[in-house]
A and B are shown apart, each in its own frame.
Chain A
């Protein structure tokens, strides 16, 4: 029936993270160069950028701000990486953030214990993701359209939950998720790091990562090879929904309120950008979760740099897009070939096992 021959992804191209070729080569990746460059520019604009002090039992400084503010997008990017690796995309994560924040805020303000409110919010995220997954797998709707539905409707749903106003709360646990600290580090950083490590371990220490890549490269081929593509896709979209809900809780906890109109607005695009900067192809297949998180940090380092630079806000978007174009060009195959040609001699013998 399917005329195309089933093609299994060639095992000759291992994923980048599976076998890192030494720290030096990892640090030579364009993403690290870009991050260092952005941080260096920030340092020139604001000499105190790298100052970190200890205040009120937590670390305090611009660098911490970058990680802390980048955490919500980093968490979104972790889920988004898995979705994009399956050749999908999830546009609804921003709206799911709003739903999760709204649900948790409305529940704690009406007296529900915080652990239950948080669990329900995370479960709501899972259900939203599952809904996307069902549309993509069982109804075979293209991911960009399937998730667009929830992107639009989800924000409306969140507004229904909050009745259009900002629901403020003073629940200590929810506030802790957004602005607390663990061992001196802001909670969002700790949560994002934990999620990154766990997700990376699960996909790379089990066959899950390989299966996701297989589905992303060729879904029917993967199915013929015995992979339950549907279950896998449902799992991946649910995970993205869960990540979005966690991110939504952080954002709500941060401002001690659920702002259904603005929470997570346009963050789905930042998350996709983080994944792309991290080097995962939108065509599916190879992916790297830590690199996507790095992408999110680069974006935030840039945002923070713009804030402290003192430029007039009219320049924000121009500067941002300029830097992003530069990063993407540096990562392009063209630039890679150029670098390879220039440094062909040293790298050929410089590679250490």
Chain B
């Protein structure tokens, strides 16, 4: 009996050794992830995508939800340091006040990767940051519209995000850059829809009334998909056809905008990918296994989706992510 046992143990050790010898990528690494919370569908999707990415790579992910509080994030990071994890991912809730805890991580020689947002701290305190380029998102949406209307005159109404928020400022700037110099395109009205469906609908209603029942509007550009979904309903209520009478372009690529595309009511959306963890894991892989120091700012792709990109498939694929 004990021979079998001994053999089994030997085999087990052998398997362990071989797996260690064959270890590739981040297999078996322990990585802590301090998430802000779940204030939006996109955030929930980011969390589930991060967990899926970790599982696919065999990473032992320690997840900590900070419920929108920085002190919880700092506590979580200190906890990760005490546990001696191999790396830490942080989606910082605010940009200030990180120097102390990042210094502690640096002293413990644990690389930190920032996700989605940056921090006001010396750049040597973190390995890299993975984020989207919000100006580029606006530019991609604008470039799509420039291509879609060609030489025709096009009066655009804009649904801005929350006044003063960085996505609203940057997405506005990017879009304006894209249509600058095109004499046939102009933004005739611009108001805030606070990134919400109901405000997007209310503002669009007002725009349609103010522009001769919508006859003067060729396209609506919304800083996020939720406002676009609200605007689509307002266009329908006014007896017009969204996607045909008034073109609809927006940013984020949440499932419901793909549902609208399937119905022919939305024309284009630019993805704010919830997969910030993928590039972060790639950078950590290169750093931990080969010592390659990544670039300080990794910019995610701002991919354009139109009804030609299998919206039904995209809808099905995203629906389960928690958006």
Q: Would you call A225 an interface residue if the criterion is a C-beta within 8 Å of the partner chain's C-beta atoms? A: no
A307 partner, pick from B197, B206, B238, beta carbons under 8 A: B206
The answer to whether B201 and A255 have CB atoms under 8 Å apart is: yes
Q: Would you call A235 an interface residue if the criterion is a C-beta within 8 Å of the partner chain's C-beta atoms? A: no
A313 partner, pick from B191, B233, B238, beta carbons under 8 A: B191
Task: Identify which of A53-61, A125-133, A205-213, A270-278 touches chain B.
Answer: A53-61
Q: Would you call B203 an interface residue if the criterion is a C-beta within 8 Å of the partner chain's C-beta atoms? A: yes
The bracket for how many chain A residues form the interface is: 20 to 34
B209 partner, pick from A48, A163, A165, A255, beta carbons under 8 A: A48
Chain B residue total in the interface (Cβ 8 A): 37
Interface flags for A230-261 (1: CB within 8 Å of B; 0: not) read 00000000000000000000010011110101
Q: Looking across the interface, which residue of chain B has its beta carbon closest to that of A312?
A: B190
* Listed residue (B160, B196, B322) with the most chain A CB atoms within 10 angstroms of its CB: B196
The answer to whether B239 and A55 have CB atoms under 8 Å apart is: yes
Contact A310 B198, CB 8 Å, known A164-B38, A166-B256, A179-B237: no
Contacts of B164 in A (CB 8 A): 314
Contact A61 B41, CB 8 Å, known A254-B198, A255-B198: no
Interface flags for B242-256 (1: CB within 8 Å of A; 0: not) read 000000000000001
Q: Would you call A304 an interface residue if the criterion is a C-beta within 8 Å of the partner chain's C-beta atoms? A: yes
Contacts of A179 in B (CB 8 A): 233, 237
Contacts of B41 in A (CB 8 A): 164-166
Contacts of B38 in A (CB 8 A): 159, 164
The answer to whether A166 and B226 have CB atoms under 8 Å apart is: yes
Contacts of B209 in A (CB 8 A): 46, 48, 61-62, 65, 308
Contacts of B201 in A (CB 8 A): 254-255
Residues of A within 8 A of B (CB): 46, 48, 55-56, 60-62, 65, 69, 159, 163-166, 168, 179, 251, 254-257, 259, 261-263, 303-304, 307-308, 310, 312-314, 316
Nearest 6 interchain pairs by C-beta? A307-B206, A313-B192, A255-B197, A308-B210, A262-B196, A165-B41
Could you give 28 example pairs across A and B, Cβ below 8 Å? A48-B212, A55-B238, A60-B238, A61-B209, A62-B209, A65-B209, A159-B38, A163-B44, A164-B41, A165-B44, A165-B323, A166-B41, A168-B256, A251-B198, A254-B198, A254-B201, A254-B233, A255-B229, A255-B233, A261-B39, A261-B40, A303-B202, A304-B206, A312-B190, A313-B160, A314-B163, A314-B164, A316-B192
